Amino acid sequence: MALNRRNNGGMPRRLAVIFSLAGLAFCLVAALGLAEHLCATSGCALYADWTLWGLSLWWWGVGGFALLAVTALVSPPAALALGGAAVLADAALLAVMAFMAPCLNCLIAGAVFFLVWCCLVLAVRPRGSVAVLAVLWLVALSPNLVALAGDGGGWAIYGNAENAATRVYFSPSCPACRRAVFTLGALSPSGVAYIPVSEAPQDVDRLMALHQDILAGMPFLDAFRRAVAPDFQPGDQGFWRRLRYRALLAYNHAVFRRMGGRAVPYIASVGLRPLPGLAPGLALPVPPPGEPRPQPAPQAAPEPEAPPATAP
C-alpha cells in the first residue's frame, strides 16, 4: 500500500519541484528589477519597495520557492505544510491588494505558490480537508482579477496611460488608426498615450518592432512610420518576448472591451485637459498623411471705428 501511494505521488511531486523552480526563477528576475516591463498594472510600482524585516518580498519569494523545491524532494508532507503556509500568506497579500491596487507580477507569483501546493496535495493526499484553504485563496484572488481588467487605461506603448489627457486605442493594421496617430502626433506630441489593440495576426510583430525602436531612442512618429510601412519585415523576436507582448495586448483588449470599445481608433479624453475638438470615443476626421490639410480662411481686417462725434 505504501509503495502504491509513493508511486501515485511521484508525478505530482515532480511537478511541485518543477513549479517551485519556475517560481524561484520568476521571483529572482523580479527581485533584480528585470520584470518591471512585464507588469502593466499600477500596483507593481506601489509594492516594489515593500519589505519584511528589511528584505524585499521578492527575495522572500525566492527563499520560499527554494525551500519548497528542496522539501518536496526530501519530505512531501513537510513541503505540504510549508506550501499551505505560503498560500495562506499569499491570501493575506491578495486581500490587501483587493483594497489597494492589483499587481500582475504578484498575482503570477501567488498563482505559482497555489499550483505547487495543489501538486503537493495530490502527492501526499492528506486525510484532512484542504478545501477551506483553497476556497479562501480563490475568494481573495477574485476581486484582484476583476480589478486587473479595469486597472488604468491599459498598457501604453508610448506615453503615460494614467496621466495622459488623451488615450488613443489603435491597431497598426487599421488605416483610420494610422491617420489618427500621425495627425495627433503632429498636433500634440505630448499629453497623448497610444495604447495598442491587436486586430490582425501581423499586429504583434509590428508592435514589437515599434516598441523596440522607441526604447532605442527613435522618435515615436518615425518608429510608427517604420512599423506600418507596406514593406515591413518582422525579425526573429523569440518565443518568450513574443509571449510577453501577447499578454500585454490581451490585457489591453480586456481594458478596451470593458470601456465599451467596439472598433478602433477609439479616442478617450480624460481629466480636465482634453485636446480641442475631441469627443470621447470618437475618431478624428483626419486626412491621410501627405495630403494637404485645409487651412483656416483668413480673417477680414476689422473696420476702423468711427471717431466719436463731438458736440458743436
State pLDDT tens for residues 110-164: 999 999 999 999 999 888 778 899 999 999 998 888 777 655 677 889 988 777 8
- Class of the CATH-defined domain 166-269: alpha beta
Q: Which residue has the higher pLDDT, 311 or 270?
A: 270
Domain ranges of the chain: 2-149, 166-269
Res 44: pLDDT: 75
Res 151: pLDDT: 58
Exposure class string for 10-33: b at 16+ Cβ within 10 A, else e: eebbebbbebbeebbebbbbbbee
Q: Are 264 and 174 within 8 A, CB to CB?
A: yes
State pLDDT tens for residues 159-215: 887 778 888 999 999 999 999 999 988 887 678 999 999 998 899 999 999 999 999
Q: Which residue has the higher pLDDT, 273 or 54?
A: 54
C-alpha cell at 64: 520560499
The full 3-state SS of 214-240, as one line of letters, equals HHCCCCHHHHHHHHCCCCCCCCCCCHH
C-alpha cell at 134: 483553497
State pLDDT tens for residues 297-311: 444 444 544 454 444
Question: How far apart are the C-alpha atoms of 113 and 22, rounded to whole Å?
Answer: 10
Q: Which residue has the higher pLDDT, 287 or 13?
A: 13
Q: What is the mean pLDDT of the chain?
A: 81
Q: Which residue has the higher pLDDT, 235 or 168?
A: 168
Identify the band that residue 243 occupies on the pLDDT scale cut at 50, 70 and 90: confident
Q: Which residue has the higher pLDDT, 43 or 131?
A: 131
Instruction: State how far the alpha carbon of 148 is from the alpha carbons of 92, 115, 143, 273, 312, in Å.
Output: 18, 20, 8, 26, 81
Proportion of the chain above pLDDT 90, given as a percent: 47
Res 242: pLDDT: 86
DSSP run (H or E) holding 196 = strand 192-196
